[in-house]
A and B are shown apart, each in its own frame.
Chain A
């Protein structure tokens, strides 16, 4: 179950400025594309894994939990690359992906969403004159992340209710109740946002110097 992305902690990586983390992540992504050495990539994988498990104090178990759902894709990509290219290319691609996934997870696990939002607002702030509202974009992203576990719960509830009625694994039977509940939840949440004064947050931003 997705329980929210941030893992509370006091590690040096938790304390590191979110802007620096995102810059390093971006530089790492570019570097990975440019690297052609499998040995170097193995070294980067090892360092990223150590940072993840020990420097960020997230542990080997969480590293495994992060990797496990992707293993099947890694195998699929590796096999496809071996068939169309060679084993070295397959190794390069899988190692690059592993580093990227771990590094991205490392950033999200060690960064509060609110800090990420503030950083995002700074990054896309220059788009304001073009009519792009940075606060709204950042809030929309935050809300989307917040709703992932809620949506997962709705799907699970509906599936349980269907199974209780003897309907096993019917996507068609689940679609309508899931959509109904999602729309109801969206309505209720927009009403709650209004009650919490979301429109005033907007006013404050618009009036900001």
Chain B
């Protein structure tokens, strides 16, 4: 993985949300923490081209989010905070199958892939259930399975456990931790970042710390004091 942010600035209605951010992300597990309004979600949305910077550039494995957003989104899967907005089809299996559309598979191959992915995430028993009626934790796992079935090279998770209780949050984080591809996780639950390779701390739209989790967490906690 190589995601490079080069002097990136984002403004919403003249209010700077991110200011002159330059970082290169290459590690397998990267965490991003910061208070509400620090620019975390904006940072995450830049990484798969959902947002285009006002100035500067974002390159994902050499591909610019500005000029080839589609290719960037093919490479970078995105897990949102609220799975209700991410799950599109009525049943779990149908929603996963939707992510396979670009591959134009025969229905047998598609169903096999869906079944395999459901099994991998321990969701096989929910295949025909209405996604709308699942628990929060189950919905988030379905949303993650929907991301993974498209076989992204990188996954960005934007506060994936904010709406979950502790037990479900632990389950979702454990599944995210086991993903085979590089993962960038935005959160304000600092304890979830233990074991990560690198942690960025954002404040007022700037990267105010960039280093190993242990030092980053104590920096973040000190800044709260």
Cβ–Cβ < 8 Å partners of B97 in chain A = 114
A120 at interface by CB-CB < 8 Å: no
For the complex, count residues of A whose C-beta is within 8 A of B.
Answer: 31
Stretch in A24-32, A76-84, A188-196 with 4+ CB within 8 Å of B:
A188-196
Cβ–Cβ < 8 Å partners of A170 in chain B = none
Given the complex of chains A and B, what is the CA–CA distance between A189 and B50 in angstroms?
Answer: 13
List A183-201 residues whose CB lies under 8 Å from chain B: 185, 188-189, 191-197, 199-201
* Distance between B128 CB and nearest chain A CB, rounded to angstroms: 3
* Distance between B144 CB and nearest chain A CB, rounded to angstroms: 12
B124 at interface by CB-CB < 8 Å: no
* Distance between A189 CB and nearest chain B CB, rounded to angstroms: 5
Given the complex of chains A and B, what is the CA–CA distance between A201 and B133 in angstroms?
Answer: 27
Q: Which partner residue on chain B sits nearest A112 by CB separation?
A: B94
Q: Which of B98, B128, B150 contacts A6 (CB 8 A)?
A: B128
For the complex, count residues of B whose C-beta is within 8 A of A.
Answer: 32
Binary flags per residue of B107-136, CB closer than 8 Å to A gives 1, else 0: 000000000000000000000111111000
Given the complex of chains A and B, what is the CA–CA distance between A154 and B176 in angstroms?
Answer: 29
A208 at interface by CB-CB < 8 Å: yes
Given the complex of chains A and B, what is the CA–CA distance between A201 and B97 in angstroms?
Answer: 12
In the complex, the answer to whether A196 meets B104 with C-beta atoms within 8 Å is no
Q: Which of A4, A188, A195, A208 contacts B130 (CB 8 A)?
A: A4
List A129-145 residues whose CB lies under 8 Å from chain B: 142-143, 145
Q: Which partner residue on chain A sits nearest B133 by CB separation?
A: A3
* Distance between B65 CB and nearest chain A CB, rounded to angstroms: 12
List A149-182 residues whose CB lies under 8 Å from chain B: 149-150, 153
